[in-house]
Amino acid sequence: MAPNAVDDEKPVVLVTGCAKGGIGYEYCQAFSSLGCRVVATDVPDRVPDLAGLDADQLPLDVTSDDSVAATVARVLADHGRVDVLVNNAGIGCTGPLAELRGEAVRRAMDVNFLGQLRTVRAVAPHMASRRSGRVVNVGSVVGTAATPWAGPYCASKAAVHAATDALRLELRPFGVHVVKVVPGAVRSGLGHANTAHLAGQEWRLYGEFAAAIAERARASQAGSATDAGVFARHVARRVMSPRPPREIVYGSMTALFAALAAAPLWARDAFFANRFGLAKMMR
């Protein structure tokens, strides 16, 4: 469909990882409430129903170059532009690094890190040609202070942080703003998904730590976790401000993780060893 005059006045926001129950779904609600035209994407069987919102729903697999290219081409054909890209798609990967299957580790990196690069490559030439655009890459507090039992997830988010810092400088000459979002503990479907992936898993070296590993899978969903809607609205407002920030750090436990990131390694190790059941093996 050709964009109409009313749609031309609305910023077009492409959001990845929008399944209902996740933060991406809340981003769609938040950006729509700010008067944006939202394009919500996810893998085909998880594309959300956003009835009542000024939104489109499109299938997108961020691990596929062809899928990313096709979806971005469709958005450009329908709306003529992408003003904001929100790289939210992500998966967990819980377990001890010495025992996790290589495929699980590769998939975490492919979705969480390389998936963002694929979408950036697809939209950057368009944004650069217009000398306008905003790219929002979602990292995590564990990208700066890695926890045990989630090494691949932490590594993928650390890669997001490093790449986003480089991208912010590389796209600046073209008038494209790059924003790094660093969530703390935010209540979403991630904890349930992490726990489900552990079902039936047996650890050879770490059998006695099964309970601690399961605790790490749901750690970000504790009672103090920030509501996903509150988090999404905060991020959307700042991204759409006249001068978007370089970094948005928000949510429960962000102050704790900032302190851990700045702490000596012995102190950080002691904290996480006690928190996730490893202290008894270090005595």
Active site positions, annotated: 153, 157
Q: Which amino acid is at 206?
A: Y
**Cα–Cα distance between 144 and 261 in angstroms, integer?**
6
DSSP, collapsed to helix, strand or coil, labels residue 178 as strand
**Axis crossing angle, helix 115-130 with helix 65-79, rounded to the nearest 10:** 30
In order, the DSSP letters of 213-259 are HHHHHTGGGSTTPEEHHHHHHHHHHHHTSSS--SEEEESBTHHHHHH
Q: Which amino acid is at 253?
A: M
**Axis crossing angle, helix 265-275 with helix 254-262, rounded to the nearest 10:** 140
Nearest CA among 181, 92, 143 for reference residue 261: 143
**Cα–Cα distance between 283 and 75 in angstroms, integer?**
57
